[in-house]
């Protein structure tokens, strides 16, 4: 089995693959201040609850955009599974099926997304990742990352807006029935959620125009990818676990 770890700003997402089948997905809030022991116990508990032996893990691949957590999670995997993880980064990129733009600047999660998307489509494609940030990663049919666009993620935008108003509101991420908000919570939902639908559609159309490719494939991913509902046809596919699948493919390349 292959264990993949996506350490993001909000969560550590853990996936366990048996060949190409994703058997388990677990999430732990990403809190850099927590000790290694906390994460080690969580990992062990997940395996115990699933009835899985630690020895079932044959390979580990890790992507991290949180440097203060990277070392801790590496130590946990070495201690618990007695295996050094493959850490996705510039040293690994030359071995992949894609060409990475600015390898020391791009997030390794976006690289994993690009690997998975290129495997899915083998043509021009855009990955729209709904995470702490909303990212648009464009990959050519030849497997070259052409560029990335970044905007604040949905939760980030709502948190920034609610924390800077005179009154604090706990705004749930729910699609409003109307763009005409009748109270503060509904008004924020309308502005952010419905507004982001337009943002996503506009960015996709802009990229299609720049590449002169109206048939470009689009795949939505990330924990919040099912919340936004752009007009039919905006997304070719919705794959919430695209990053994990990308990390699985990385394991096969290295």
Count other C-beta atoms under 10 Å from residue 114's C-beta.
29
Instruction: Evaluate the CA torsion angle 92, 97, 103, 107 in order and state its sign.
Output: negative
Following DSSP, what letter does each residue of 226-254 receive, concatenated? Answer: TT--PSTTS-SEE-TTHHHHHHHHHHHH-
Residue 51 region by backbone torsions, left for phi larger than 0, else alpha for psi between -120 and 50, else beta: left
Three-state DSSP state, 53: coil
Selected catalytic residue, list 20, 45, 109, 129: 109
Residues linked to residue 27 through DSSP beta bridges, in sequence order: 13
Question: Is-catalytic flag, 6?
Answer: no
Contact between 117 and 129 (Cβ < 8 Å): no
Strand ranges across the sheet with 133-139 = 145-152, 133-139, 125-130, 217-221, 237-238
∠ CA 117-120-125, rounded to 5° = 45
Residues identified as active-site: 109
């Amino acid at each position: 089995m292959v264990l993949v770890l996506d350490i993001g700003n909000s969560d550590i997402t853990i996936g366990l693959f048996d060949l190409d089948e994703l058997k388990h997905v677990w999430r732990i809030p990403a809190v850099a201040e927590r000790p290694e022991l906390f994460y080690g116990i969580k990992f062990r508990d997940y395996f115990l609850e699933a009835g899985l032996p630690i020895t079932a893990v044959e390979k580990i691949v890790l992507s991290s955009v949180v440097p203060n957590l990277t070392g801790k999670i590496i130590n946990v995997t070495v201690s618990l599974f007695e295996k050094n993880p493959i850490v996705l980064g510039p040293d690994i990129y030359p071995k992949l099926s894609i060409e990475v733009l600015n390898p020391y600047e791009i997030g390794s999660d976006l690289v994993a997304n690009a690997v998975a998307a290129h495997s899915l489509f083998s043509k021009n494609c855009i990955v729209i990742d709904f995470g702490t940030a909303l990212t648009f990663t464009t990959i050519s049919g030849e497997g070259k990352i052409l560029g990335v666009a970044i905007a604040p993620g949905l939760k980030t935008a709502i948190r920034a807006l609610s924390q800077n108003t005179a009154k604090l509101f706990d705004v749930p991420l729910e699609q409003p029935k109307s763009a005409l908000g009748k109270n503060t919570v509904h008004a924020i939902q309308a502005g952010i959620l419905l507004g982001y639908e337009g943002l996503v559609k506009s960015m996709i159309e802009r990229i299609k125009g720049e590449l002169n490719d109206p048939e470009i494939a689009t795949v939505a991913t990330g924990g919040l990818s099912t919340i936004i509902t752009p007009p039919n046809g905006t997304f070719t596919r919705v794959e919430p676990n695209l990053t994990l699948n990308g990390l699985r493919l990385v394991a096969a390349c290295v």
